Amino acid sequence: MNPSEIFERLDNNGTLFKDLFHGVSTDQIHWRPEDNKWSILEIASHLLDEEKEDFRQRIDFTLYKPGEPWPPIDPEGWVETRKYSENNFMETVASFLDERDKSITWLNNLRGVDWEKSYLHPTAGKVSAKQLLANWLAHDYLHIRQITATNYAYLLFKSSPLKLDYAGNW
């Protein structure tokens, strides 16, 4: 997939995320399907931090600051250290969508980019800007799936004792 196709899909996913987060009930915002799973609020908070501090920033470093170490990130740890569960859901979603718009504008304004430029990551090895871009899109898809799974689990929880198997196999 070429970079412009990925840009377009990232842009479209912004709309999809907006729709997925729209209408989430107050009860569901903090609900977790299991103790070790994230709530919808925690997912939105993670997406916001990743949008600001991971893919866009790391692609920028790879393209324009070769050899400089990437700023550290801790996506799993941030859930607790940044107290995601205390965030305001609507503000978090709005901030994420705003950051996604900034990312799309930034990506669309890149000119003459060598997408093969790479960074030597201490554990992941050689990571190209193109690989980061493709992983950004993959990251979206993973969280779209996660949100959908959380919504399904919430429906199952709230509908009990009704069975949802008539709809098909999950």
Q: Is the pLDDT of residue 67 over 90?
A: no
Report how many domains make up the chain. Answer: 1
Write b or e for each residue in 89-120: b if 16 or more Cβ atoms lie within 10 A of its Cβ, otherwise e: beebbebbbebbeebbeebeeeeeeebeebbe
CATH number at residue 108: 1.20.120.450
| Each residue's pLDDT tens digit, 6-51 | 999 999 999 999 999 999 999 999 999 999 999 999 999 999 999 9
Residue 169: predicted pLDDT: 82
Across residues 133-140, what is the average pLDDT?
Answer: 98
Q: Is the pLDDT of residue 170 over 80?
A: no
Do 84 and 40 meet the contact criterion of CB atoms below 8 Å apart? no
**Domain range holding 97?**
3-167
Q: Is the pLDDT of residue 53 over 90?
A: yes
